[in-house]
Structure 1
Amino acid sequence: MTRQAAVLGHPIAHSLSPLLHAAAYEHLGLDADYRRIDVEESSLQEFLRGEGAAPGWLGWSVTMPLKAAMVSAVDHPSARVTALGVLNTVVHGPAGTPEGARMLSGENTDVDGIVAALGEAGLHQASSSSRGSFGIIGAGATATAALAAASELGYTQVRSYARSVQRGLELEPVAAALGLRLSVAQLSGLPHDLAGTDELPATHDLSAIHDLDTGRGNSGQLDAVVSTLPPRAADEIAATLPRLDRPIPLLDVAYDPWPSLLASSWEAGGGRVVSGLVMLLHQAVKQVELFSAATSTPAGELSAESHAQMVAKMRRAIGL
């Protein structure tokens, strides 16, 4: 029987996930049909009781506006999902689950995508003696994944740059659950922090840890920035970015159009830039590993050479 998988969300016609998954399943020799299914938040329960309850599913990729709404629908959210309150992956199984029964596991592979994308831009595990701060632009579902990525990369201090400081404050419970110290600034404060000047912008420090805002020191430096804003939403600050004194990596999760104004200005100022397409690739690689784990050809058990070939095929499928 052909196994089924899909990306769920609304709107969904633009999703590149089918290209990524099709390339992976072809490499694995896995008979799987991956498609787009338009599901609005208001119709999620209808989908879960109907088409989503049919047998033969490997799993679902989950995009907006379902990332938070789907959490309550899974039987086993991962520790990561529990901390973040959002997911992007639902796995069906395991194999051998009695007919008519359904067990759903939730994961957030956006975190894996962010970590891997920043790795391609030169950012790797931070040591306690060298790490500064991790910057995040925006305060939505992807920003929470960026918080988890910061934690997994060894950072303890994160600075959120939000168009609304009040919205940025909503990240505080997630940061606390991850053991991160979070400070929030207006988006307009990012150029100031990149320049490393002494005059301080308006900020709200949630943890009373003032080294992010006072002495620049090591902890005041931004080691990396992830922009989680929608396409063109960061255009307003692109023209205000300073010349960087070191090649700070930027992951801009918005990839259409590409390069974004933010990415172009960042690179012109001496920074390293990585596209959201790279994040999309790597989060899909992890999804494929999870979806195929209980099949006869699990991607997670491929040889290093074969796994690299699979990733290369997925990369080419989206023009990277």
Structure 2
Amino acid sequence: MERNAAAVLGHPVAHSLSPVLHSAAYRVMGAEWDYTRWDVPAEDWNGFWRERVAEGFWRGFSVTMPLKSLAAAQADERTALVEALGVANTLVFRADGSTIADNTDVTGIMAAVIAAREIPSEPRCAILGGGGTATAAVAALHGLGAPSIDVFVRSLDRAGKVTDAAARLGATVTARAWGEAAASLADYDAVICTLPPRGADELAAEFATLNASVSGVLLDAAYDPWPSAIARSWQDADGAIAPGIDMLIFQAVDQVRWFTLGRADRPVPREAELTAAMCRAVNRPERAIPQRVREARLNR
């Protein structure tokens, strides 16, 4: 009998909420799934992967740091997003045993931003940080229509991965010095903070001293602690804020599509209900992926 087995992989991974989200979704679908978490250091990846492939019953894996680039390289096939970004957060086994990699973080970021507040069709956008999540943020903001994206990094030498990914996506990115960020934030319709937890605390304090007024959305991909210092400063300036947990919920919806349908361009049965169940499972308001996001992904 076919076994519905999946897991989230990463190091560390004990804190991951993916099992909570996926389990909530599969209960709504009435499907029996075994969704677990697996701590896999990067140096153990090759051996781990050989063992899982040999077992032959896995439907797919959710992938977090530090394994996203390894997952992208491991897959037999990669979506256009993964080819451009070089990182994957989703690995799916096909019926013939081959694998395909996708990056559903892009949908997660797009949806979390628009669910927090509608932004213009050609938004002014910025990203804080230049790591792996920043590349997904570039794809997300490009998908939402941003004509150009400013990326604030502590060292301009570290912006290479982001600018390279942007070039492959056809997006326009400008790397800017970190010291310019606080005075510039109020100019944007959407800001994505991709730094580790508390990584923007000093920036938040500096921004708060400016007494700025904003109208856009700030998404902090780090969801603990929440609200973060940068989110509080943004909200105090009248902006809308989106927690990283919303990004996690929405990206998981597309993972459920992949794991159950083998594709992400078709909805699963009762998708609105299972999305609402995911939200409730982590004490977030019930919501769905905005139609603007679905249309943007299909037309990309």
- If the length of structure 2 is used for normalisation, what is the TM-score? 0.89
Deviation digits for residues 137-176 of structure 1 (CA, Å, limit 9, x no counterpart): 1111110000100111111201001122211243111111
Q: Could you tell me which residue of structure 2 aligns to residue 199 of structure 1?
A: none
Q: Could you tell me which residue of structure 2 aligns to residue 60 of structure 1?
A: 61
Given candidates 181, 186, 196, the residue that maps to 1:230 is: 196
Inter-partner Cα distance in structure 2 for 1:232 and 1:14: 17
Inter-partner Cα distance in structure 1 for 2:35 and 2:237: 41
Aligned: 1:110 with 2:105: yes
Inter-partner Cα distance in structure 2 for 1:14 and 1:245: 35
Matches within 5 A, 1:253-264: 253-264=221-232
Aligned: 1:119 with 2:114: yes
Which stretch of the first structure deviates more once superposed, 278-287 or 164-173?
164-173
Inter-partner Cα distance in structure 1 for 2:65 and 2:181: 27
- Give the drift of 1:57: 1.1
Q: Is the 8 A contact 1:250 1:273 kept in 2?
A: yes
SS of aligned partner of 1:69: helix
Letter in 2 for 1:20: L
- Give the drift of 1:294: 5.0
- Give the drift of 1:109: 0.2
Structure 1 stretches of 5 or more lacking a match? 196-220
Matches within 5 A, 1:235-254: 235-241=201-207, 242-254=210-222
- Give the drift of 1:299: 8.0
Deviation digits for residues 216-245 of structure 1 (CA, Å, limit 9, x no counterpart): xxxxx4221000001001101111113444
Q: Could you tell me which residue of structure 1 aligns to residue 233 of structure 2?
A: 265
Q: Which has the higher helix share?
A: 2
Inter-partner Cα distance in structure 1 for 2:53 and 2:283: 31
Deviation digits for residues 262-281 of structure 1 (CA, Å, limit 9, x no counterpart): 11111011111010000000
- Give the drift of 1:308: 1.4
Given candidates 294, 304, 310, the residue that maps to 2:274 is: 310
Q: Could you tell me which residue of structure 2 aligns to residue 218 of structure 1?
A: none
Inter-partner Cα distance in structure 2 for 1:280 and 1:173: 25
- Give the drift of 1:134: 1.3
Q: Could you tell me which residue of structure 2 aligns to residue 9 of structure 1?
A: 10
Letter in 2 for 1:107: D
Matches within 5 A, 1:17-96: 17-93=18-94, 95=95
Q: Could you tell me which residue of structure 1 aligns to residue 251 of structure 2?
A: 283
Inter-partner Cα distance in structure 1 for 2:164 and 2:170: 10
Q: Is the 8 A contact 1:162 1:185 kept in 2?
A: yes
Deviation digits for residues 168-216 of structure 1 (CA, Å, limit 9, x no counterpart): 2431111111112211112221122135xxxxxxxxxxxxxxxxxxxxx
Letter in 1 for 2:217: P
Q: Is the 8 A contact 1:156 1:179 kept in 2?
A: no
- If the length of structure 1 is used for normalisation, what is the TM-score? 0.84
- Give the drift of 1:132: 4.3
Q: Could you tell me which residue of structure 2 aligns to residue 158 of structure 1?
A: 149
SS of aligned partner of 1:239: helix
Inter-partner Cα distance in structure 2 for 1:182 and 1:117: 21
Inter-partner Cα distance in structure 2 for 1:144 and 1:222: 18
Deviation digits for residues 35-81 of structure 1 (CA, Å, limit 9, x no counterpart): 00111111111011113431221100000000011112101100000
Q: Could you tell me which residue of structure 1 aligns to residue 161 of structure 2?
A: 170
SS of aligned partner of 1:45: helix
Inter-partner Cα distance in structure 2 for 1:109 and 1:243: 36
- Give the drift of 1:112: 0.4
Q: Is the 8 A contact 1:136 1:158 kept in 2?
A: yes
Matches within 5 A, 1:197-208: none
Q: Is the 8 A contact 2:5 2:60 kept in 1?
A: yes
Q: Is the 8 A contact 2:135 2:161 kept in 1?
A: no
Letter in 2 for 1:27: V
Deviation digits for residues 114-140 of structure 1 (CA, Å, limit 9, x no counterpart): 00000112135x43xxx2421001111
Deviation digits for residues 240-260 of structure 1 (CA, Å, limit 9, x no counterpart): 113444411000011111111
SS of aligned partner of 2:69: coil
Greater gyration radius: 1
Q: Is the 8 A contact 1:139 1:167 kept in 2?
A: yes
Structure 2 stretches of 5 or more lacking a match? 285-300
